[in-house]
Amino acid sequence: MTPPQDSDWAAQLVDSLDSAIAGIRSKTADPIARIVRYLVFGVMAAGVSIVALLLVTIGAVRGLDKLIPGDRSIWAADLVLGGIFLVAGSLAWRRRRRP
């Protein structure tokens, strides 16, 4: 038996297996990891946005309560912010897309 002419066949085999595995990974695991990353960041952004909206709303109610004089100023603050949210919701409802 004579040894093969190319004595580096083991390294070539390992390199071809490595490139095949990298190709399979780039078509399967990498897109899934990207989708999961977008989902995680989207959930985090939604959570931070909800908390920020709640804090701004609480601050607006407290600020209006201090600005409006009278004994029952909290009702007036609720009425003003309720009206603002009603108008914003009506505009959003008008711009919706129907199926």
Ordered by start, the domain boundaries in the chain are 10-94
- In this predicted structure, the answer to whether residue 3 has a pLDDT above a threshold of 60 is no
- Tell me the CA distances in angstroms from 38 to 29, 43, 48, one per residue in order: 14, 9, 15
Region 16-20: what's the mean pLDDT? 91
Six-digit token string for 57: 């709303």
State residue 28's pLDDT score.
Answer: 87
Cα 6 to chain centroid distance, Å, stands at 53
Helix axes 73-94, 9-67, angle to 10 degrees: 130
- In this predicted structure, the answer to whether residue 75 has a pLDDT above a threshold of 60 is yes
